[in-house]
Structure 1
């Protein structure tokens, strides 16, 4: 591998490259007039420009090769074209006026195309839009994307659920590298701040071909904010207040681009007290978060690279029951103290008509978990090697709601007398992703690559949740995109090997071949269909292989199974999209068969009066999809009616239902967009999300009643001191509905989700 890299680097440094440039003009298709301030962007090179008052633009110092150029402007349909340098140097582009929202380039798939040109259906949403809905956290905001929900423990801890699958069945990518933060635990949240994240992409289905093990259920891909345009400086300051938690978030960012170098810095903080329902505050759902992101980029004609760093520290209270009532923001016992460091490097070497992408990452996850003193005693008595944050045996003073003095005493005691962490794990993960894009051959675009991971888990606390172990992954893949006149086809194959080494106790290896094939075609001018078939796999995690202890909150003793096989699935996806000038309709359906699905089941025995559960396997299947409608009626082009319905059903082979499957939901939105002389980018919306009864529950769940939540908001941009000031106002659960989500881990204690919340936010561009 080192020899290959050295050879490619030598070729990059010694080859002779012509300095290419592109000149062009962009016009309005209807009037033929030149358009000013059109954005021109080349995603492979991360180079861009804008047109002048006559619609003219120039891009210089470009390497030879085949590239995509995107042209976008509000009020016009985004257009993309393929060019070959040095043969194409002069362009004339005509943009079609359109009121349909501009599409975005999909980064999570390797060919970086607009969604309408992508063979695989990928959901894309800007973080700005998710935050405008009033979401307190990124995880909460993700539930606004059809087919995506959040598995929560209170407000501060949430993890994505994609079409019924979550935890180690869903991969999270940030800064271009896979995020590893002990995501197998039910109380282990996303661990990422939305500050400094520009957009999110969701692959809803097996993506093991692109990402390897653990992408069996899908991928959540977080795109960091772009660097500043060439030779510019940008800065912004933002803050938001949340009435329900009396909480706030702030962030400050700066970025600049000088000659060939680019820099970016962003810091943010957030603090929230216990969230409130109509009847009570939910004790210890409070949390604090600090986040810092930085990056540096360098680019010349034949080479570009960027290095990014993110450190995130979170103090997360673990709710257990309804106890002390206050608006303090320092977590009580038990709580988590988690620090996550993400180092990433992303480089591209451009050859004549080909390129080499090298992505490297290192993630250092430091997880500390503190618990009540009596919990330590319980662990000593039962030799428990499991997590503290599910405990149900509470101190009597915490259970007494009538004695206000005792509650205040214990809150003060918890805030200021923390013992050494009961659980302390450090997870260090180094990963690499190297892809070579071959020269285009006729209708074929082809990528070959290797991916891998080296991971070490080490324990430092008195409890052992999972043992010290080393995990190694290696995968090799090949993927082709074939362009036909009326269709696009994508095919690929991959081989993976994973080794899990639990020192002196267990050594397991898992191998898997996976493939994918898809086709996209325009049935008519307005109707597009996509059909995709893909396989995926997931190797058992350390908890499933080696656990041996009590989960107090679920009142069960869990025993791992060293003989577990890899989960293997096959999914079929069909997507239909109809887009006309004033109406859009989509329908997505899927059927997902999972062999060797891993789950917990009772043995009928007890240890220390606690029922014993073991990890077993059986085949399972999930099916469902999403349908939606978007109408923007003429001549009221500023008015939008949006409606979507999502459903998923999950069953074992014996027809028992799978746990933690989201209930069916219907979302209706009325949205208006407007411009005033004193207000730009103005909008307002009203949303009603109706979640239906969840009666299809597993043997260890109870049914969950349905509910409807009303939300509304408005916002826009003002000019203050000649700079843009963006203001947002939103309200969630405006009727203060008392409800419990089926995906809330507090459901077993009959604790409500959050009540009415009003948020006020601003962002000032310096």
Structure 2
């Protein structure tokens, strides 16, 4: 198909698009202009003129960006002739306003999208790299993380996580046992060029797992013809002696695209500002202020190859993420002074530990069919998760074939997504699409948590955008979804003092469940005055119960509890309202984003009134369903009193309530405020350029609203500061940053940390050093 399209493209003579970019005074701007569907871009000249040649007839989305100005997006239709366009950019000191939004299906900018979307570029991600991809998102209001130590983190949006948040990497949903709080995201933080966080109900376009929000991860933009670039990044963190190195290359030779990256991270046991902790009334030691067996290592590689032509592009990406991470010695079983003794090496990875490997093969296509665009994404993922610990005598026999392999889960996932975009002239656009996914899980090891299963789910949707005027835009859509789970029975042999008793314990029966449901949403974006923008989104979404919620029955060591599924769980339905009010001027921006959601048959884990018969556990936690509400909001503001000084403030609050028990839901983030100051130092030497200084203070309130048997967590204050910039070594540019986290070495507890259950404080003072060396291997000019 691609060869045929390429041949047809070569036989057609293309048309040109010319234009000029000016400021409000009519002066030309050397802006960056790109055509999203083709992945091509150019820079305007000194007078603001630019041109694209050899374009086929069809609809295109033009993105225009320049530092110090608001981004601009235009829908361009190329017919059987050349076209011209004139665009004026408005000045803005707000850096985020120079970024375009591409997460919405139309790729047409922030005005048309009714949902609350936050856009992060590579500069932001590199500046806030905390060792994991999820930790870099914590600087956004409404985003938190559930942590297990330092190397394992997963995002929380407005108090929801796990299977209610969808992570899309290059258009394919990331699948990696995301139901577990101790299961991190197998994503290299250095291999992320751009992130778009969609808050609120996004199930309509992405599937039922997008009930709370979606995080879209985008690769770097394609290089232009005969352009090759490389970069080397190195980072060191003092708290756990983490050393990270990442090497990348991207290029384009005659419209043949290629790229690759290799990243290695190694870290030791991390430090806490404490020498002991209290667990179940016992005072236990923390030797040398380090949590024993929290060291780890990560390796990641990715390779991309593809072709870019007038009909669009097609790329194939293969990546593999490999992680070995220790689990604090007191996290499995009951902690005691013996297993917490220092073993003489802060970098070794002993049992208990986890090993995670994630293989992805992604085929992404954007193809011009007549005047419409077809986006086709196909993916295969293989996630292998293994947990190692020493078995109890009740778990194995004398001929134990598993050794220390407590649990092995191998998940194979095949995904196919397709969307067709249709332009309706000046009255907007529409999109029709479908998503399908087939999953197969295989378990092994001497412990049991999740059985073997096969799952198939898919859905089709239609979404329409109607442009009433340039300042008032509506959208609405509907979706149908179905799913089928086939879960196999699991029988576990019972041993007593390493001898088989001959009895079998049925951990779960055969379960076959099928689901079918519909969802819908509508929204608007209204600019009712020049600087005011009101966005409102209403939606009803649903979520399919997962196999872990239907059939689990075992000790989940990362959560320190025996979890039991419920084969009779029904679908989860939500009714949500999300609003975003923004006021922006040249040097000031404020956004307020309240939300409300009513959840019918909300699925959650709750402690039961009985103890677990399994070793290494305490009481049983069961999956239940009750009606619940979630409400709250975020506020974000940025102010530039002078051009070089930026003041920022972000706040977030989540309130939820179980309507049947009258109690809050577990793992709810506390109210918090993040305030920051950044100063861009005027250039005083030819050696150092773009120097900046920043200070940030995070204030988290007490979390007194907790579920039954959930601990109250005291509030805390954290201080972070740093500086960065560019300097020249000979003719080579080097970007650097030095920053410090928890500079006061405060003793505090993160309410969402899984080690909070052991009364373990978070990591102490940390100083980060990072260097990035961009290399221009070949310039197209």
TM-score, length basis structure 2? 0.88
User: Quick one: which of 575, 583, 591 aligns to 1:586?
Assistant: 591
Alignment of 1:173-212 (within 5 A): 173-212=168-207
Query: In the TM superposition, what whole-angstrom CA distance separates every residue of 1:118-160 from its partner, at most 9, and x where no partner exists?
Result: 2221111124313313523222111111100000110111111
* Partner residue in 1 for 2:385: 367
TM-aligned CA deviation for residue 605 of structure 1: 3.4
Alignment of 1:39 onto 2:39: no
> Which deviations, in whole Å up to 9, do the C-alpha atoms of 1:643-683 show, x marking residues without a partner?
11100011101321100000000111011124524333322
Q: Give the equivalent residue in structure 1 for 2:670.
A: 663
Q: Secondary structure at the match of 2:395?
A: helix
Structure 1 CA distance for aligned equivalents of residues 428 and 110 of structure 2: 19
Q: Is the 8 A contact 1:127 1:194 kept in 2?
A: no
Partner of 1:384: none
Q: In the TM superposition, what whole-angstrom CA distance separates every residue of 1:716-749 from its partner, at most 9, and x where no partner exists?
A: 1122232321001100000000001000111121
> How far, CA to CA, are the matches of 2:292 and 2:485 in structure 1?
39
SS at match of 1:108: coil
Alpha-carbon distance between aligned partners in 2 of 1:43 and 1:161, rounded to the nearest angstrom = 30
C-alpha contact (below 8 Å) 2:6/2:309 kept by paired residues:
no
Residue 727 of structure 1 pairs with residue 733 of structure 2: no
Match of 2:55 in 1: 62
Q: Could you report, residue by residue, the CA deviation over 1:159-189 in whole angstroms, capped at 9, with x for unpaired residues?
A: 1111001111111111220010111112111
* Higher alpha-carbon deviation: 50-59 or 164-173: 50-59
Which residue of 2 is the match for residue 475 of structure 1?
A: 459
- 2:15 is matched with 20
Asked if residue 251 in structure 1 is aligned to residue 284 in structure 2, the reply is: no
Q: Which residue of 2 is the match for residue 391 of structure 1?
A: none
* Cα shift readout 1:300-351 (whole Å, capped 9, x = no counterpart): 1113111111100000111243824466323221111111011111112212
1:497 to 477, 482, 492: 482
Cα distance, 1:221 vs structure 2: 1.4
Q: Structure 2 vs 1, CA of residues 9 and 650 (structure 1 numbering), >3 Å: closer, same or farther?
A: farther
**Residues in 2 aligned to 1:554 and 1:33: alpha-carbon distance in whole angstroms:** 60
Partner of 2:371: 353
Cα distance in 1, alignment partners of residues 227 and 563 from structure 2:
57
- TM alignment of 1:196-595, pairs within 5 A: 196-279=191-274, 280-321=289-330, 323-325=340-342, 328-372=346-390, 375-380=391-396, 419=403, 421-485=405-469, 486-503=471-488, 505-551=510-556, 556-595=561-600
For the residues of structure 2 that align with 1:104 and 1:510, how far apart are their CA atoms? 40
Change (3 A) 1:641 1:658: same
Contact 1:730 1:759 in 2 (8 A): yes
Give 2:749's aligned residue: 740
Please point out which of 89, 92, 95 is paired with 1:98.
92
Q: In 2, are the aligned partners of 1:717 and 1:725 still within 8 Å (CA)?
A: yes
**Size of the alignment, in residue pairs?**
719
Structure 1 CA distance, aligned partners of 2:129 and 2:566? 43
Which residue matches 2:725? 716
Q: Is the 8 A contact 1:12 1:349 kept in 2?
A: no
Uncovered stretches (5+) of structure 1, i.e. residues with no partner: 1-5, 382-417
Instruction: Indicate how the Cα distance of structure 1 residues 760 and 442 shifts in structure 2: closer, same or farther if over 3 A, else same.
Output: closer
Match of 1:738, SS state, is coil
Partner SS for 1:128:
helix
User: How much has 1:420 moved relative to structure 2?
Assistant: 5.1
Q: Is the contact made by 1:530 and 1:575 (CA closer than 8 Å) also made in structure 2?
A: yes
Moved more, 121-130 or 701-710: 121-130
Tell me, yes or no, if the aligned pair for 2:292 and 2:346 is still in contact at 8 Å.
no
Residues 578-622 of structure 1, C-alpha deviation per residue, up to 9 Å, x if partnerless? 001222111000001111111233443345385343322111111
1:640 aligns with 2:646: yes
Deviation at 1:234, TM superposition (A): 0.3
Asked if 1 retains the 8 angstrom alpha-carbon contact of 2:74 and 2:108, the reply is: no
Moved more, 502-511 or 340-349: 502-511
Q: 1:148 matched to which residue of 2?
A: 143
Q: Determine the C-alpha separation between the residues in 1 that align with 2:314 and 2:129.
A: 35
How far apart, in 1, do the equivalents of 2:341 and 2:137 lie? 31
Aligned mates of 2:754, 2:705 — CA distance in 1: 17
Q: Distance in 2 between matches of 1:337 and 1:18?
A: 54
1:353 and 1:440 in contact (8 A); partners too: no
Q: How does 1:99-118 map to 2 (within 5 A)?
A: 99-101=93-95, 102-118=97-113
Most deviating of 459-468 and 252-261: 459-468
Gaps of 5+ in 2: 275-288, 490-509, 776-781
Match of 1:753 in 2: 762
Query: Contact (CA 8 Å) 1:142, 1:149: kept in 2 or not?
Result: yes
Is the CA contact 1:446–1:481 (under 8 Å) kept in the aligned structure 2? yes
Contact 1:256/1:262 (8 A) holds in 2: yes
Are the equivalent residues in 2 in contact too, given 1:550–1:556 (CA < 8 A)? yes
Aligned to 2:715: 706
1:337–1:369 CA contact under 8 A, matched in 2: yes
The residue correspondences of 1:687-702 to structure 2 (distance < 5 A) are 687-702=696-711
Mapped to 2, the partners of 1:129 and 1:564 lie a distance apart of 41
SS in 1 for 2:126: helix
Deviation at 1:460, TM superposition (A): 3.5
TM-score by length of 1: 0.90
Matches within 5 A, 1:151-166: 151-166=146-161
- The residue aligned with 1:686 is 695
C-alpha deviations, 1:378-423, integer Å up to 9, x for none? 4349xxxxxxxxxxxxxxxxxxxxxxxxxxxxxxxxxxxx945221
| SS at structure 2 position matched to 1:159 | strand
Q: Measure the CA separation in 1 of the matches of 2:316 and 2:228.
A: 19
Q: Tell me by how many angstroms 1:26 deviates.
A: 2.8
Q: Distance in 2 between matches of 1:59 and 1:125?
A: 27
Q: Is the 8 A contact 1:134 1:759 kept in 2?
A: no
The alignment's C-alpha RMSD in Å is: 2.2
Indicate conservation of the 8 Å contact 1:227/1:264, yes or no. no
- Worse overlay, 617-626 or 184-193: 184-193
Q: Distance between the aligned counterparts of 1:584 and 1:717, measured in 2?
A: 28
Contact 2:696 2:721 in 1 (8 A): yes
Which moved further from structure 2: 43-52 or 360-369? Answer: 43-52
SS at match of 1:622: strand
Q: Distance in 1 between matches of 2:703 and 2:315?
A: 46
1:130–1:144 Cα contact (<8 Å) kept: no
What's the counterpart of residue 652 of structure 1? Answer: 658
SS in 2 for 1:585: strand
Instruction: Name which of structure 1's ranges 686-695 and 293-302 shifts more when overlaid on structure 2.
Output: 293-302
> CA separation in 1, counterparts of 2:53 and 2:722?
43
Cα contact 1:17–1:352 (8 A) shared by 2: no
Residue by residue, what CA displacement relative to the aligned partner does 1:422-468 show, whole Å, maximum 9, x if unpaired?
A: 21221000001111112425513010011100111112333332111
Number of the residue aligned with 2:283: none
1:274–1:327 Cα contact (<8 Å) kept:
no
Aligned partners of 1:133 and 1:713 also within 8 Å: no
- Pairwise CA distance, 1:555: 6.4
Q: SS of 2:204's equivalent?
A: helix
Q: 1:745 to 1:562 in 2, by over 3 A?
A: same
